[in-house]
Structure formats: C-alpha cells, structure tokens
Amino acid sequence: MPGPLLHVGATVLCAHGGMATPSAPNPRVLVSGQPTVTMTAPYVIAGCPFNVVVPVPCVTGQWVVAALRVFSNGQPLVLMDSQAVCVPNGTPLLPLVAQTRVIGS
C-alpha cells in the first residue's frame, strides 16, 4: 500500500509513547532535506514508560514490513504504513508525523 517515506525527522513512537529514532539513517536518499530510513536499520527507543507488573520497556524496534518497490542500497525504504516490532515486548512502532511530498509503495 502506498505511503509517505519516513525520514530522520519523522515522529515515531513505541506503543507506550517512547520516542524512537533510527540508528542508521540512509544518507543516499533525501526527502525534505533529511536522510530516509531503510528496513534493516533498527530504531532506538528512549523514554518508554511501560512499567506494568514486570518492567519491560521498549528498547529497540525493527521494521518487518516496508516498501515493495522503493529501494536504496538494495534495501527497502520505510513507509508511513510500514510495520515494526519492538524488543523485548513485541509491541508496534507507530509513525505519527512524516513528510508528505514523496510517496512510495
């Protein structure tokens, strides 16, 4: 399904509200003047407040579904509707705000 490409400045949160940032941006493709993100680059999560019963806050997030047709350096780029899983608790990453000029599928 088509969607806007995610970039370094996009707002991405874990399901509990922790801020997620890409660990390895892709400087080869820029959108809105900022590097994009490939599927293989994990996101680092800071400030996850998940402390129910056993504290298991989100630490990293890995994309499992990304673009089918848009690649950079042989890796699929991450779209606004891509899916990711957080480690260690398996909750999703939620892209909230991204650029809207470049759409991929």
Q: What is the CATH number of the domain that holds 55?
A: 2.60.200.60
CA–CA separation, 39 and 65 (whole Å): 8
Confidence band of 77 (pLDDT split at 50, 70, 90): very high
Structurally, how many domains does the chain consist of? 1
pLDDT tens for each residue of 15-42: 999 999 999 999 999 999 999 999 999 9
Percent helix, percent strand, percent coil in the chain, to nearest 5: 0, 50, 50
Per the structure, the complete domain to which residue 86 belongs is given by: 3-104
Asked if the model's pLDDT at residue 51 lies above 90, the reply is no
Residue 34: both structure tokens together: 């900022």
Confidence band of 56 (pLDDT split at 50, 70, 90): confident
To 5 degrees, how large is the angle CA 31–CA 35–CA 40?
120
How high is the mean pLDDT of the chain?
A: 94
User: DSSP code of 97?
Assistant: E
Q: What is the pLDDT of residue 54?
A: 72
